[in-house]
C-alpha cells in the first residue's frame, strides 16, 4: 500500500545519505570516516528502523497531538524516527501547548526593546556554533546563523533571569536542525530550560555545557 511504498522510499533515501560526505543533519563526516563499515551496519539495522518507522506512522496518523501513554513512552525509549522527532518532542515536552496558547508571542519578543549586552553576547558565539555543519556557515543558503540568533534573542528577552549563556547556542542549534522552525525551536528551548533544567544562569550554564559538549573550562557568559 501507499504506507509501505513511502517507507521503502524512506529506506532508500537513508542508504543514499549513508554514502554522502554530509550527514542528514548537515555535519561533515571526517576524512577517515569508514563508509563501508557504516553502510554494512545500517544495512542490517535498516530492518529494525523500517519496522519502527511503520509503527510510529500508525501511532501518529491523523495529524492530531501526541498523547502521552505507556506505548508512546516505550516507542520513545527505542528511538524516534527523524521525520517524526519535532512533532513528538513538541507534544511530550508541552512546547506545542505553550505555542498554541501564546500566538504571536515569539514575534513580539523579537520586536521588543533592544539589549545591547545580550545581542553582543549572542553574536560572539554565532561563528563558534557547529563549525563543521554546512548549514551554519555564512556562505550557506539559507544560513541558519540568523535563525539561531533570533531564537536566542527571543529567549533572552523571554527569560531575563537566564538571558544567554555559553552552551545554549549548541542546544538551540540542534533544536533548529530537528524542527526546521524558529518558533518551535524557541518553545522547545523554553521547555528544556524552564522545566527540564530550571535554575539560575550559573548552574544552567554548567548543565548546557554538559549537554552540548562544551569543555568545562569554558566560562559561561550570562545576561540578566
**Averaging pLDDT over each range in 36-45, 81-90, 194-203, which range is the top one?**
81-90
Q: What are phi and psi of 197, to 5 degrees?
A: -125, 55
Structural domains of the chain, ranges and CATH numbers in brackets: 7-83 (no CATH), 94-199 (1.10.8.270)
Q: What is the rounded average pLDDT of the residues 120-139?
A: 93
User: What is the rounded distance in angstroms from the CA atom of residue 188 to the CA atom of residue 171?
Assistant: 10
Residue 41 pLDDT level (bands cut at 50, 70, 90): confident
**pLDDT tens column, 8-39:** 555 555 555 556 788 888 999 888 988 888 88
Calculate ∠ Cα 116-117-119, nearest 5°.
65
pTM over 0.75: yes
Q: Is 176 a residue whose pLDDT tops 60?
A: yes
CB 205 within 8 A of CB 167: yes
Amino acid at each position: 500500500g501507499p504506507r509501505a511504498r513511502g517507507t521503502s522510499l524512506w529506506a532508500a533515501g537513508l542508504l543514499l545519505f549513508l554514502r554522502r560526505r554530509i550527514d542528514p543533519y548537515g555535519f561533515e563526516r571526517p576524512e577517515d570516516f569508514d563508509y563501508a563499515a557504516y553502510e554494512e551496519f545500517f544495512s542490517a539495522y535498516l530492518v529494525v528502523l523500517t519496522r519502527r518507522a511503520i509503527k510510529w506512522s500508525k501511532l501518529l496518523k491523523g495529524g492530531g497531538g501526541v498523547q502521552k501513554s505507556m506505548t508512546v513512552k516505550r516507542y520513545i525509549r527505542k528511538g524516534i524516527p527523524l521525520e517524526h522527532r519535532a512533532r513528538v518532542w513538541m507534544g511530550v515536552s508541552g512546547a506545542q501547548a505553550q505555542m498554541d496558547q501564546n500566538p504571536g508571542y515569539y514575534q513580539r519578543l523579537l520586536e521588543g526593546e533592544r539589549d545591547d549586552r545580550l545581542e553582543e553576547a549572542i553574536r560572539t558565539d554565532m561563528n563558534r556554533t557547529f563549525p563543521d555543519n554546512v548549514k551554519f556557515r555564512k556562505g550557506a543558503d539559507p544560513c541558519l546563523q540568523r535563525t539561531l540568533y533570533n531564537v536566542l534573542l527571543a529567549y533572552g528577552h523571554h527569560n531575563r533571569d537566564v538571558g544567554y549563556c555559553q552552551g545554549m547556542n549548541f542546544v538551540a542549534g540542534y533544536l533548529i536542525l530537528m524542527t526546521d522552525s524558529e518558533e518551535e525551536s524557541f518553545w522547545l528551548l523554553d521547555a528544556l530550560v524552564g522545566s527540564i533544567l530550571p535554575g539560575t544562569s550559573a548552574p544552567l550554564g554548567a548543565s548546557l555545557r554538559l549537554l552540548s559538549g562544551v569543555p568545562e573550562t569554558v566560562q559561561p557568559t550570562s545576561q540578566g
